[in-house]
Amino acid sequence: MELLDRALDEALQRAGAGREALRYVATTGFGRSNYPERDLQLTDVTAAAHGAAHLFPQTRCVVDIGAQSSRAMKIEPGGRVREFKSNDKCAAGAGGFVERAARYLETTLEAVGDLSLHGEAPVTISSVCAVLAESEIINHVSQGESTENILRGVHNSLAERAVLLLKRVGIEPEVTLVGGMGRQAGMVRALEELLGLRINVAPEPEMANALGAALLAKRRLEKAAA
Amino acid sequence: MKYFAGVDVGSTQAKCIIVDEQRTISARALVETGANVARAADRCFAAALEAGGIARESIACAVGTGYGRFKVSFGDLQITEITCHAKGASLLFPQTRTVIDMGGQDAKAISVRDGEVVDFVMNDKCAAGTGRFLSTAAETLGLGLEEIGEISLRARNPVRLSTVCTVFVESDIMAYVAQGKKIEDILGGIHSAIAARTIALVRRVGLEPQFTFTGGVSLNVGMVKMMEEKLGQPLNVSADSHYMGAIGAALFASEHALVPAGN
């Protein structure tokens, strides 16, 4: 809650507005019910869909890869969710794995995306489970594989998980990537290669869900006023 | 005297068993596998020779098993750990029909007849039900892997885990700690969830007694108890259950060496 307040204040400060200017607050994400002053509470799926549809109006499929989840949605023009598949029960396919891999490879999360682009011969990571995949990484390191090839293998394995989810909702362009993993160029390339498609990447991908929530808050308020 | 060695190089630990011509265990050794799999195999073989006071030359045959079996440079043969666990279990518990093997990074259920594998299933897609899951849980609680089983036995109101994902369970555990739940109740919930999951795996090969529990997790008394409760059946567990793959491999080594050449 403290964190929520801090984020809210910082955003208001950047907008040059005070709390009194806030007309409607929508929350989303893992901690969405922890903010007592919310007017509206949205699932990650709804928020991501609306954020993506706003940023790229031709979006028909959304992939959301965050630290602890990976999801795929099929949406209508305007952002209504037609179908979604998510993996919330287990860490397979979620981005947190990259963070731990980065730590093990003694590099930073920021550097991972570009390092992966330089992997000429990506390793194969056969484990679906994030924990078992970590052991595979350790094996690759001990066999002398380069950091670049390992990280490209990591991105490929996450892309495979995401594309499996996408296939279950039905792949239809345009595909938009949201969530923190959108920051990593190697992740974007891995998805594009596997899909055989160019994809849209939200400019501040980790903000896309918050953007979607803000847009829905605005719409709700306007509806109430009409 | 001739001896025969079985070396089971697992993902987490390497085990070596040396048997004599009467198939009696003469020596055993266990080392952490670490990053260098080939060296782990050598180290644990050397440690077993030393423990038994056995000269390397008197080893007539050595068999490698486990995930690192092809890194056993001194091995005469490689045999899968599934075949070896079935073999080892049938030496120690001849009435074994089902082997439940919970190792460092995988869990398996093996249906056995007279020491031979009839069917098996393994959980290699997820770390739940492996030593890795339990060590993560222990670490999150600031406990040693060897003490959590005992503590879980004291659970009165075991918690319900929302996930058996090794990654997510950390935050689940921390949330329970923050709520003031007792450590034994948290551990009770963990053991219960993992036992239920493992039994679901075993059900896929058929729940046929006797059950023999092998692999490192068999050292965990809490898991043994919980599985027995849920199965409604006793589990065969020996102090050597952890070494079952290596025992099986050593038995194969003795059979291989004692069969006349050309047969």
- CATH code matching the domain that covers B1-93+241-263, chosen among 3.90.220.20, 3.30.460.80, 3.30.70.2190, 3.30.420.40: 3.30.420.40
Topology of the domain comprising B95-237: Nucleotidyltransferase; domain 5 (3.30.420)
Site from A69, A70, A87, A90 to mutate, B interface, most B CB atoms within 10 angstroms: A90
Q: Strands B3-9 and B13-20, how do they pair?
A: antiparallel
Q: How confident is the model at residue B260 (pLDDT cuts 50, 70, 90)?
A: low
Condensed to tens digits (0 to 9), the pLDDT of residues B72-131 reads 999 999 999 999 999 999 999 999 999 999 998 889 999 999 999 999 999 878 898 888
Of A4-8, A158-162, A206-210, B198-202, the poorest mean pLDDT is in: A4-8
Residue A109 tokens read as: 């999360």
Is B126's CB within 8 Å of A128's CB?
yes
The pLDDT value recorded for residue B251 is 97
The residue extents of the domains of chain B are 1-93+241-263, 95-237
pLDDT of residue B3: 97
User: Mean per-residue pLDDT for B238-252?
Assistant: 96
Share of chain A above pLDDT 90, in %: 69
Provide the mean pLDDT of chain B.
94
- In CATH terms, are B1-93+241-263 and B95-237 the same topology? yes
The DSSP code sequence of B244-261 is HHHHHHHHHHHHHHHSPT
Q: Which helix (H) or strand (E) holds A50?
A: helix A44-55
Q: How far is CA B169 from the centre of its chain?
A: 23
What are the residues whose beta carbons fall under 8 Å from the beta carbon of A27, sequence distance 6 or more?
Answer: A4, A33, A34, A35, A38, A40, A41, A42, A213
pLDDT of residue B110: 98
Structure confidence at residue B261 (pLDDT): 56
Q: Which of helix, strand or coil describes residue A58?
A: coil
Residue A196, Cβ density class (10 Å: 0-12 exposed, 13-18 middle, ≥19 buried): exposed
Amino acid at B215: G
Close Cβ partners of A129 (under 8 Å, ≥ 6 residues apart): A90, A91, A92, B125, B126, B127, B166
- ipTM, two decimals, is 0.74
Assess whether pLDDT exceeds 80 at residue A147: yes
The pLDDT-based confidence of B263 (bands split at 50, 70, 90) is very low
Inter-chain contact A90–B105, Cβ cutoff 8 Å? no
| Residue A101 contacts B, CB cutoff 8 Å | no
Helix (H) or strand (E) holding B19: strand B13-20
In this prediction, residue B257 has a pLDDT band, given cuts at 50, 70 and 90, of confident
Token pair 């919970």 in the structure block, residue: B102
Residue among A131, A138, A142 minimizing CB distance to B132: A131
Residues B182-216: tens digit of each pLDDT = 999 999 999 999 999 999 999 999 999 999 999 99
d(CA B89, CA B245): 9
